[in-house]
Amino acid sequence: MTKTATPEQIADALAEAKARTQRLQEQADAIDNAVNDAYERTELSHYRRQATAGATEYRNERDQLKAELDAAMVADPLDHAALFEAYIALKDADARAGAMASHASRLNHLDPMPLNAIGAYQTRPVLVSEMHSALTFDQVLSAAVRARGDRIRSQHQAELRAAALEEISAAVDDARVRAAAGRDCLTGPTATPT
């Protein structure tokens, strides 16, 4: 048996359904707005942080590893394994720095800077970038060997100069003593006055 509804009942049910639909749509819109606001606020905060503190952290890590590679290049004795390990650590950090530069540059799209005085778009400076992508271990090893040779040459030249100065200083001191004693300064201690 089918129950028949009166036109008033149908109109009331329809009005109730429309009101419920309106409440559900308002709730769905509020949820969408909250989600969009949270997404945009968090995205902007994330990229601002990455473009500043994050990029600086990546750059500092890469620069520290470059200093460690430089130290490994001049270590005495030269440790090839440590040199290669320092090289790989630098290359890895440098690649991550390149990824961070690309990632952080999204801030220019999300929060563009105002146009400059002549109406051209401005971008924020990137605080980190990949600097050693073309650096090969062969170059590092060659530079390490070359620096080692330069250091040994310089150190030995200083030793030779010091030995020469010591010899000259001893001869000058001896000559001074001989001259003060009235002996021949050129012939040495065995010379007798004439």
23/104 same-domain check: yes
- CA 81, 82, 87, 93 dihedral sign is positive
60/106 same-domain check: yes
Report which residue type is found at 31.
I
Note whether residue 93 is domain-resident: yes
Note whether residue 192 is domain-resident: no
Note whether residue 178 is domain-resident: yes
Note whether residue 47 is domain-resident: yes
Candidate from 25-34, 120-129, 175-184 with smallest mean pLDDT = 175-184
- Cβ neighbours for 128, distance < 8 A, ≥ 6 positions apart: 55, 56, 58, 59, 62, 97, 100, 101, 104
Give the residue carrying structure tokens 């021949």.
184
> Can you tell me the mean pLDDT for 106-113?
90
Note whether residue 96 is domain-resident: yes
156/69 same-domain check: no
99/177 same-domain check: no
Please report the pLDDT score of residue 1 as a whole number.
56
Q: At 2, is the pLDDT very low, low, confident or very high (cuts 50, 70, 90)?
A: low
> Can you tell me the mean pLDDT for 23-39?
95
28/58 same-domain check: yes
Q: Which domain holds residue 177?
A: 149-183
69/17 same-domain check: yes
- As for how many domains the chain has, the answer is 2
Please report the pLDDT score of residue 149 as a whole number.
86
15/84 same-domain check: yes
Q: Is the overall model pTM greater than 0.75, yes or no?
A: no
Please report, for residues 61, 69, 161, the alpha-carbon distance to residue 155 in angstroms, rounded to integers and kept in the order given. Answer: 32, 22, 10
85/118 same-domain check: yes
Cα separation, 44 vs 176, whole angstroms: 81
> Can you tell me the mean pLDDT for 16-26?
95
95/165 same-domain check: no
Please report the pLDDT score of residue 126 as a whole number.
85
3-state helix, strand, coil in the chain (%, to 5): 75, 0, 25
User: 74 with 147: CB under 8 angstroms?
Assistant: yes
153/60 same-domain check: no
100/156 same-domain check: no
Note whether residue 123 is domain-resident: yes
DSSP state letter for 107: H
